Each structure stands twice: as structure tokens, then as C-alpha cells.
Structure 1
Amino acid sequence: MMFDLYLTRTSIEVWLLVLLSLGSLLLLTKTLYNLFFHPLSHVPGPFWSRISGLPAWYHTCRGNRHIWLWQQFQIYGDRVRVDPHTVLFCDSQSYADIYSMNSNVKRGPFYEMFQNNSHESMITTVIDVAEHARRRKIVKLAFTDKSIRAASTFVISHVERWIQLMMKDNDRTTEWSSPIDFSEPAHALTFDIMSELNFGASSDIKEPGENPLKLIPYYIDQYLKFHYKMARIPFPGFLLWLKPLGFNYFLDFLAPPAVQKFYQFINNSMTDRIALQKEQAKDLEAYRRQDTFYFLYEARDPDTGGPAYNDAALRGEAGFFMIAGTDTTATALCSIMFYLTGDPRRYQKLVDEILSTFESAEDIVYGPKLLGCKYLKACIDEGMRLGPSVPSDLPRRVLPGGLTIKGEYYPEGTVVGSVPWAMMRNQEVYGDPEVFRPERWILDESTGVTQEGIAQAKACFHPFLSGSFSCLGQNLALAIIFVTVARLLYHLDMRRVPGSTFGGGSPEKGWGARNINQLQLEDISGAASQGPEVQFKRRAFVS
């Protein structure tokens, strides 16, 4: 009997040893293949990244993936192999080859990981090229010139109320207000605007007093962080295979409480808005509430003529618009104000343009006159260049037949992309990429700004992406940004708190993040930031 137990134990040990040996052999074989025999083995990149996707995922989890990628471009040049199957770029030609209308690519598993379930789909998670094109035609109906004009009324109302609240404790023209972190009111403003446009009522989180909804922007960031880590995981295909087998429910269980509360907020808000839409169906069109949701709800499928969305699909799409419209627009506003308040001369130049162009704040509406403010547009573009709302790559998977990028062939299955944070800091294109210099966007050959130079700068500047996957809501985002910046600076004088570097870099943050004059972003699929720390006072002539 003892002998039998000995044999059994020995057999188990032998099998464990065999399995361990086989696993080690497979790992060694995979490592050697990735390093020396993989179709991408000739592409430069960090040693461990050429073996595994874990280094890139590590920086995703830390929120500094964009800085890490920028570092790799400084070391290896304008293309880097960041995991065994992925090559990323930071130049305009590669960008055009990857993201153009006719590029032989599609979205990959990264996007599918953001879909919470099979019913509430979002256009951003659709990877089939034909289906995405069909959905895009429908969603565009919510972002026509008519809908943007209708939305502008809501935007102006919120911006004016927001400016009033900025000065609620100090209505004087001679004293500066108490210091505030500008990122907080910026997120409150964009959240209230988007909740009004998507759900039919403002959440009023910019208003003083207790309001449980004031935590929702925090919940949105937690939602993005959670799903971003899942989407960037080195084996997304395996997780997608598990999703129909119940992995979605496991993800819901793993999700932090903040993510669950965000889901609940979306569901409750959508239930109320759908009820309002059905209630106002009996009214004439002129008397209906014409927000973004209205145009989505009324959209018709061009193939069938029937409603384009059922209730579940509406929940998914409106939830995505809520996230995208709140976070990305707030990031742009924070970046613009960070760099303006850090450069008093250029700040004053912009203020002079706004005050000389408009006789009153009521004249500041989204239209030709506002868009004709050249220096305002240049400041907005420069702020979005230095603080991209999506700092890391939006990956594309090469389709059968391969793809040629800058004259080099990449086979089917290769994941490719451009990195906005690095591309918009391309030294060869911008010369002084870390400097806030709006003049680089305005033709003036006497100062060396040529048409050719502007064209090169624009070729690397894609804050809303381009091609068949460009942001459909970009005109709405620009309307919010233009109106907010112009009306804020028309009503109020603004300054950085003396000596404050809040939101900027610091030595302990390491290479690529040390500059105190550079707004630091956390890469969470979108971007999160803090600062600048600012003060306001009312302009003397504004009643």
C-alpha cells in the first residue's frame, strides 16, 4: 500500500515536471519567435515589449502610457513595436496611411471591450466596416447644422449661468476671487451641458449646494479607467471569447462601485428622457424639446424607413455621447486655460481680440463672426495640440491583403496606430513642440510662419481624428469650446494663482513629465487632468 502511494505521488510529480517543462519550452519558443522570426521582428522597440504586451499594459494601468510611448519614439525613431503584434507611429504620413478613408484596416478587439452588453451597442464599439458606415449615417442626423444651432441655445444658457457662479462670492472689479482648480468647474459645465442635451434636463452639478450627481464626473473617469485596462490587456481576444459565456456578468461583478453607479445614472436618465420623448410626440415639432437625444430618437433608418434605434440602442449611444462630450471637451478647456494663464502676453492678446470684435456678450454666438476670430481659433488649436483629449493611439487591425505604411508593408493582423501626444509634439514638425505658441497657426511670413509650415503642422494635428472614423460630435464640441472661452474672457479677467504650478509637471514624475509649464494628463482612454489653479475678477465695463 505504501508502495502504491509512493508510485502515485511520483507519477503526479513526474506529470507536473513534464507540464512545467512543456510550458517553459513553449514560452521559450514563443519568445524566440517574437524576437527573431515574427514578421515584425525587424521593427525596433523595447526588448521586453517585443516579447510581450505586459510592459505596455503596465503603463496603461499606471495612466502614463502616452508618456511611455513618447519616450520610446525619442529612443527608437518614428515607429516603435510596443508589443509583439503592434507598431505605432508619430508622423503625418503614417497617420494618413492608417486612418484615411480607403485604408485597409478596421477597428479591433480594443473597441469591443468597451461594450458592456450585446443590447446597448455604441457606434464606437462597432468594428465591422460596413456596419459602422451604416450606423455613422444615422448618428450624423443628430449632428446636423440644424441640431447644432438648436444645441447652441442650451450651451449659451449654461455658460452664462456658469460665469455668474464663478463670481458669486466676489462681484468686484478690483479684487481677485478665491483660488479654484479650473478642472472642477470645467467638468461641471460640460457635464451639465451634455446631460441637458442627452437627457432633457440639466444635472445642475455646477450649482452650489449638495447634489449627489456631483460625483458623476468622477464615476465617468472610473468607468473609463476600468474598461481601458480591460481593453488594453495583452489577451483581449480571449476575454471577448469569454463574454458570451457570461464574462460580462463577471466584469460587472469586478467593476468598482463608482462604475455601477454610473450605469445606474445612465439607465435612470434614459428612462426619464424616453418617457418625455413619447409624451411630447403629440406636440407640433416647433414645441418639442430639440436636443441631441431628440434628433437621435427621430432618426430613421435609410434602408427601412423605420426608427433607427430601439430603446436599448438609444441607451448605449446616449451613454457614449455623455462620456465623450463631458470628458474630452473639459480636457480641451483645461488645456487652453492652463497655457493661456501661463503666458500673460498671449492671454492679453486674445482678450484684446475678443473685446474689440464683440460689442456685447450677447453677440458671442457660434457662427461666422466667432469662428472668424483668428487668434481665438489659434489659441484653441494650440491648447488642443498640447493637451489632446485622447493622448494615446486608437488602434487599427490590418485586413487581409496587408497595408503599406510609409512604403513598408505590414501583414494582415498587425495592429497599427498613431499616438497623438507624441505626434503633436513632433520636433521636426513643430520645432519648439513644448511651447504654447498660437502664432504657429497664423500665416505671417515676416515672422517665419509660412503656408507650408502651417500645412505641415495641420498634417500632424487631428484632435477629432479624421477619415471614416472621425468624431461626429466635433462641431458641437467646438461650439462649446468657442462660446465658453470667448464669453468667459469677455465677462471676466483671469489669472494663474501667483507661483502656482498645479497641474504641471514636476521632477519626480520623470522623463517627459518634468516640465512645470506642461499640463500633465492621465491616460484613461480619454484624458484626466487637474488645474490650472486660477482666480477671476469682473471686467469693469461689463454690467
Structure 2
Amino acid sequence: MTERGSISKDMPVEKALGKVDKDALELEHLGVAPSDMKRNFNLWSLLFMSFCTSVTWEAISSTMAQALTSGGSSSLVWGYVASATGAMLIVVCLAEYSSMIPTAGGQYHYVAELAPMGIVIALTSYYTLFSIFQLKYLHHLLFVAMFAHVFGYFATSIYLLVHVEEKNSAAYVFTDFTNLSGWDSSAVSWSIGLLSSAIGFVNWDSSLHMAEEMKNASRDLPRTILATVGVSGIVTFPWVIAVAFCITDIQGVLSGPVGLISPMAQLYYNVSGGSRAVTIGMTSFLPILGFCGTGSSIMSSTSRVVWAFARDGGLPQRFAHIGTRTKAPTASLVLTWAIICGISLIYIGNATAYYGISSACTVALILSYAFPLLINAIWGFQHCTIPRGSFSLGRLHRPLAVVALVWCIYISVFMCFPAYYPVTKDNMNYASVVLAAGMGVATLYGITTKFIKSPFYDLSAVHDEDGLVPDPFVIRNDKTLHSRMKRNAANAYSLNGLIQVEPWVEPVISRFVDILDNHAQANAVCDLGELLKRFAMDAVCSLTFGSDFGYLEKGDELNFFKSIDLFTAYMSIITAQELQKFRTSPPAEGDAMTFLNRLAMNQSTNPKSINDREIITHAFGNVSAGSDTTAIAMRAVMYHALTNKGVYSRLCAEVHDNLSEPVRFQSAHSLPYLKAVVQEAMRMHPSVGQLLGRTVPDGGAIIGGHRVGAGAEVGMSPWVLHRDPEVFPDPDAFKPERWIMGEGCINEDHLRRMNRSFFAFGHGAHSCSGKHISIMEVTKLIPTLLLRYDLELVGDKKGKFTNWWFTPQHELKVKLVRR
């Protein structure tokens, strides 16, 4: 039995893992495959984008007629305060979700993880083309748009304050209530008037959908949306007050030629003495300059939602395609453009219908904030096994979600009210009708094109008295069960989980090198391949259960692991024992956490999230699938390093210059050549040697330019995929430098193509959950061997292996000299 190690529970993941794309790795545990889109955005560029899409003061100026009609200046001012407060409540809650789940899907992905099971056409075309072909220049356009946004803010407010000589009194601005809406109830009228302010706080979520193109998204995304609404809310308030002081004749502004359409345009026209130049400059030129960035930003973010929805199976896969040259979701952008153009054309035929649809879109956007809030208000995080992110509300997350949800419902209801009373067919608000129709379509119809695992996996299925054991490896048709099994152990396989189980590997490494020391002292040939297999078995048992079988010293004397029935039964017994031990004596704060501890903690926090049977399944999967595959990977690394003298020399130099015993994963993982050697070894010799079978869904599919009928079994072999000369030039040569930028790797596009074709752990939602544990074991052990010994391969240097489902090598005999 190994001893419990100790780690700092406050250690940041970034520090513990070195330079690593934490967001991309965490998303893989959600079943989200890494995309080919570059992470071009940092905190400031995305903040500019978020500000430009929010256009708070511009939005209020364009919808001000509603507030002025429904209460006058006080409605404008206090309605703004209410809207800003409500928006901030929503943002604070969603900031926490974005830190946990930084994905382009945004709100719908939060719900999925939290829940229990003409001129206009020309402009939109420009935005689409810009978003497809000039995404790298979006930062520059955002800078120009941000400048116009800020300059327009000061220009409009200063102009009014200077040229309006007789202003309203403070009492009039803050207390006078002027109801011109026709509604008898002042409360209803004032609530309807909130539309003017609320619409200025609905586009901040655009940054959420750029999450997978943002660096350090889980950290900086919450900061972005909080800063957007917080700063906009505070800064725009003086502009609102300035305008309220300057509108001295509400009826005069509203009754002018353009008053009901744009009270601000009428105000500038009146104040400037009828100057068209001033009116056009203040209401058209500056906003249009700003809206150039706004349009491109909204088009980009909206297309990412479409792209994410297609990637997750909600739309045909063609809309999840990323352009090879543009690195943008071209098909999703075109679809977004087509929808916008279609809605815009409605205006030509029926303006009332157009306004109904646009109002419904605003309400729908607010409701998209409401759904994750609703889930949180009812269930909290009890159905979510994803670790809390860097931004956490602690115990306040639920009460804040309730308050924010009440605000969403309140504002959504009154956004569906007609602006004026009595209601006629011309002033009727058709938003509720459009919403009802849209929800009906969404409920009745849905498009998905999912490949499911083929019947090949049924051969590996295990049954007990309760039926099929719910192993994610063999689950084929039950997507809900597969998602549940992936999610209920996600935090155990996460980066935080990786740090917590690392101390359990240290004692096994210590025992391993003691055995090798004996061989070195005796100057005896050592079958390193066999010992690596034993090490992998004891290491994975130790980090899973907190104890191992002494496989390193004794081997499998009774052929225990060759009998699947006996092995499965024993796994059940030992798992039950460890669970009971956890329940009677849980680990203390700061103690190292075994994999089983983490699952048991999930169960104690939320008993419905995972049951004992599922815990046993995960533990069994760790040992049955995580030992042989890791041993194969370690043998591959050592074999190719020892048969390539240049590689061996360079790898030893890097290890000796940067590491010391005991090797910490965080340090070893930061070494570029070591990482390249490990990845190249697994490219040359993947642990799985057969097809990863999938069944073609209804409707068939086009694969490699050929039409394949529904029901056909298709698949890819990692051994074939890893030797595609178009992706891996000179594929039969062992070249670790191909993975290093500036050496064998030409550019980032080339590196992305290689990573996308790297199939050692599978791909997408069905990729190996424990791959990071395997990489941790390899990355710790290999440098330990190189620090401690000079190794030389002896005997047959050609290398032989058996091609079963796994591809175990035969013998790896070495001589060791202690350094």
C-alpha cells in the first residue's frame, strides 16, 4: 500500500502543467473536439469586440421613443438604471458558466452541461465576406469602430450640452412621469418603456461565442463580459442623463417628421436649427462607422453559434466545416448571411412582420440567458461534474441566478406588450406570435447527422445481472448514457484531477528504479519492455485505488489479468472496499486524491450524478485499457530513442539541462523536444492497431469523395492515418522535430493538420478519457530513466509486435549503466 502524497490545493493549473492550452484540453472532456480556428483574440481585442457589439448608447438613442412615450425623462433615466442592474446580474452568473465551459456554443452548451439529462443585404454581404476572408483584420476594424463608438459618445453629448441653453431641471429629469402610451397603468407603461434601455444590454454575449478563438478563455472570458457590461453601464449613464436634461419638449421631439422613428435625430435637427449636416453627422455618419465593426462582430459571433451547433450535431456537419485557407466557418457564415438577408427582405413586403421578428429575436436572446439561469436556480451544479472555473460565485451562484432569472422573465414579458393602447393591427407587437411559431418548429423538427459506433464494439461489451455494464467504450446507440458516463468522471480525468493523482505514481516509480538499479549493479540484460508493462499496471492501479498489486515485483504469477471474468469480479470487490474506506474516512484537505476518491466525492456531492456500478466501470476501464496502452507507448518511446542516436543524445541533453529527480510532470511537460519525441513515437507506433469502426447514419455520407450507403461500417486505422505522406512527409522516418515550430514543422497550419490527424487516442467525443493520465505516466517515467541511466539496446533491434486490437511489442532488452 502506497502512502498518501501531498500537493497544494491552491496550485494554479497553468503553473502545474506549464505551457499548455488548458481550455482546449478541458473542452475535450466535454466531448468537444479542438477546432482548426486560431486563437487570435486576447482580452483586449475581444473586449473591443464586445463593446462594439453592445453599442449601448447608440442602441438607446435608436429606441428612445419607447421610453419617452412610456414615462418621459424619468423613465429613460431610471429604466436605464434598472436595465443596467438586471444585465449585470445576468452577466455575473453567466461569467461563472463561461469560466467553466469556454465554448463557442455559449448559452446552449451551458444548459447542456448544467441540465439533468438591398442596402441591408449589401452590408450583411460585406460583413459575411469580411468575416470569411479578412478575419485576421477584424482587430483593426474593431479599433476603428471602438474609436467611432467613443468619439460619438463624447461628440453627441457635448454637442447637446453646449447648444441646448435652457435645460430641464433635476426634479423634472429624475421625478417627472409623462405617460403618452395610452396605457392606464403607469406601472405597465413604465415597464414597456424599459425596452429602450434593455436593448442596449443584449449583445454582450457575442464574446462568449468567440471563446474557442480566445487565448486563456476560461480566465479572460468572464473578465471580458463583466467589463463590457460594467463599464458600458457606468459610462453610458452620464450620456443618458445629459440627453434627459436636453429633451425639453418631449411631444415636440416625438411629433416631428422623424420623431417616432428616431427621437435623437429630431432632437439634433431641432437643436441645430434645422441643420441637415449636423443631424446626418450625429445620427448617421458616426453610428454607421461604428456599426461597420458591429456588423462584422455580430456576423462572426453568430456564425460561431451556428458552427458549434453543427459540430455538436444540431445541424448538418457541412456547417461545421472550417475553411483550410480562411480558418473561418465559411458555410456557417454563409448560412447566417442567408438568414439575415431573408429576414431583411421581409421588411420590403411587410414592415409589421419584420418588426415582430426583430422584437422576437431580442426576446429570444434574453431567454437564451434565462435557460442556464433557470437550470442553476432549480438544480444548481448538482448535475454538472465539471470543476468550477477561475471565476466562481461560491454559494451566491444560486440566489443570484434566481434574481437574474426574475429580471429576464420580467423584461421578456413586457417586451412582448404592444407599445401603445388601444391595440390595433398596426401597433400590435407580434413578438409573442413569432416566438410561439419558432418554438413549435424547434420542438417538432431537428436535424442531426451522427455516426455511431459500429457493432464491432459489442464484442467488448460486459454484462452482469443488471444488463449491459455502462462502459463508454462500448456504448453505441444511447447518446444520453454515453454523455452521462463521460460527464460523471470528467473532473477525475481533468487537468486538476491529473495534478491530484500524480503523487500516487511517485512510489511506483521509486520501486521501478530500484529494480533497474539491481540490473545495472549486476551488469545484467534487462527486459525493459516487460518491466514497463508491469510498471504501467501498478501505476494505474495506484492512482485509481491508492494501492496496487505488486505487479512490478511479482508479475502476474497466477495469470490473473488474463482471465477477464476473474479480473472483473476482483475489480468490483476492490472498488467497493475503497468506496467504503472513503465514506468512513475521506481524505483531508490538501491530500493527494486518487481517481476513485474523486468519483466518490462526486457521488457524495450529488448522489444522482454517478452510482456505484458506474464507479466500478470507470475503475475497471482505467486498469483494463490504461495499462497495456501506456506500456506500448513507453516501449515505443524508448525503442525509437535508443535506435536513433541523434534523437537519444538531444533528448538526454534536454532532460539533464532542465530536470532532476524526482521528475515533476509540470516541469517535464514543458520540454518541447521530450513532448515531440513522445508524440512522434505514438505516431509511429499507436497502441491501437485496428479500425475505429463507425456506422454510416441514415441518408448515407460522402467519404473521401465516394458515396457510402447508410448502415455501412466505416473506420480509420491510426497506423494508416499516421502514415499519410500529405500530412506527415517521409512518414516512415522517426522525426520528432516535425512537431516543433521552426524546425520540421513549417507553420501553424501544418501543425494543426498533424494534430487533427493524430489518432493515437481516437478523436472527438469518443476519444480516450484517460489519455492525459497516460501522458502523465510516460512524461514522468521516461526522463527519470534518462536522468538515472545510460541505456543501450541489445539483441534484436528490428522490433517485433503483435497486431491485435492493441499492438504490444515483443521484448525491449537493454543494458543499463547507473549515472
User: What is the aligned partner in structure 1 of residue 665 from structure 2?
Assistant: 366
How far has the Cα of 1:144 moved from its partner? 2.2
Counterparts of residues 7-22 of structure 1 (less than 5 Å): none
Counterpart secondary structure, 2:816: strand
Distance 1:348 1:284, change over 3 A: closer
Q: 1:270 aligns with which of 575, 582, 591?
A: 575
TM-score by length of 2: 0.43
SS in 1 for 2:635: helix
Amino acid at match of 2:602: A
- SS for the counterpart of 1:493 is strand
Structure showing greater radius of gyration is 2
CA contact (8 A) 2:603 2:611 kept: no
1:120 touches 1:317 (CA, 8 Å); kept in 2?
no
1:122 alignment counterpart: 471
Distance 1:406 1:169, change over 3 A: closer
User: 1:296: how far off?
Assistant: 1.7
Distance 1:423 1:103, change over 3 A: farther
User: What is the Cα deviation at residue 424 of structure 1?
Assistant: 0.9
- Say whether the 8 Å CA contact 1:199–1:272 is kept in structure 2: no
Cα separation, 2, equivalents of 1:536 and 1:159: 16
In structure 1, what is the equivalent of residue 713 of structure 2? Answer: 415
Q: CA deviation at 1:307?
A: 4.0
Letter of the 2:758 counterpart: F
Q: Which amino acid aligns with 1:266?
A: M
Which ranges of structure 2 fall in alignment gaps of 5 or more residues? 1-322, 324-447
SS of aligned partner of 1:526: coil
Amino acid of the structure 1 residue aligned with 2:729: G
Higher relative contact order (CA 8 A, sep 6+): 1
Deviation at 1:431, TM superposition (A): 3.2
SS of the equivalent of 1:523 reads: coil
Preserved CA contact (<8 Å) 1:120 1:315: no
Match of 2:306 in 1: none
Cα RMSD of the aligned pairs, angstroms, is 2.7
Give 2:627's aligned residue: 326
Tell whether the 8 Å contact from 1:301 to 1:307 is kept in structure 2 after alignment. no
Structure 1 residues 215, 383: CA separation in 2 closer, same or farther (over 3 Å shift)? farther
| Aligned mate of 1:142, from 488, 492, 506 | 492
Q: CA separation in 2, counterparts of 1:262 and 1:343?
A: 39
Whole-Å separation in 1 of the counterparts to 2:532 and 2:763? 26
* Displacement after TM superposition at 1:419 (Å): 0.7
Indicate the residue corresponding to 2:650 in structure 1: 349
Letter in 1 for 2:788: H
Match for 2:762 among 447, 454, 465? 465
Question: Which residue type is aligned with residue 382 of structure 1?
Answer: E
Question: Cα distance, 1:300 vs. partner?
Answer: 4.4
SS at match of 2:803: strand
Structure with bigger helix share is 2
Secondary structure of 1:494's counterpart equals strand
Write the mapping of 1:473-484 to structure 2, written as runs, cut at 5 A. 473-484=770-781
Cα distance in structure 1, aligned partners of 2:479 and 2:766: 10
Alpha-carbon shift at residue 441 of structure 1 (Å): 1.4
Q: Distance in 1 between matches of 2:565 and 2:471?
A: 18
Alpha-carbon separation, structure 1, partners of 2:615 and 2:641: 38
Confirm or deny that 1:537 pairs with 2:813: no
In structure 1, the residue matched to 2:636 is: 335
- Post-superposition CA distance 1:189-226 (Å, at most 9, x none): 1111111122331212212xxx4x6247x654x4xxxx
Q: Distance in 1 between matches of 2:488 and 2:601?
A: 10
Which consecutive unaligned segments of at least 5 residues does structure 1 have? 1-92, 94-101, 223-257, 503-515
CA–CA distance in structure 2, aligned partners of residues 326 and 449 of structure 1: 35
Q: CA deviation at 1:286?
A: 4.7
Partner of 1:189: 535
Cα distance between partner residues in 1 of 2:564 and 2:470: 17
Structure 2 residue identity aligned to 1:122:
D
Whether the 8 Å contact between 1:299 and 1:307 is mirrored in structure 2 is no
Are residues 116 and 520 of structure 1, via their aligned partners in 2, closer, same or farther at CA, if it must alter by over 3 Å? same
User: Residues 139, 488 of structure 1: CA spacing in aligned structure 2 closer, same or farther, 3 A cutoff?
Assistant: same
- 1:58-81: CA deviations, max 9, x gaps? xxxxxxxxxxxxxxxxxxxxxxxx
TM-score by length of 1: 0.63
- Point out the more displaced range, 267-276 or 195-204: 267-276
Structure 1 CA distance for aligned equivalents of residues 604 and 520 of structure 2 = 52
Cα distance in 2 for residues equivalent to 1:169 and 1:521: 25
Distance 2:526 2:723 in 1: 29
Residue 296 (structure 1) aligns with: 599
1:122-521 pair list within 5 angstroms: 122-127=471-476, 128-171=478-521, 177-207=523-553, 211=554, 214-215=556-557, 220=561, 222=562, 258-281=563-586, 284-286=588-590, 290-300=593-603, 305-358=606-659, 360-362=660-662, 364-367=663-666, 369-444=667-742, 449-497=746-794, 500-501=795-796, 516=798, 519-521=799-801
Deviations 1:397-423 (A, max 9, x none): 122232232343322211111110111
Q: C-alpha distance in 2, partners of 1:396/1:487?
A: 39
Aligned equivalents of 1:395 and 1:299: distance in 2? 32
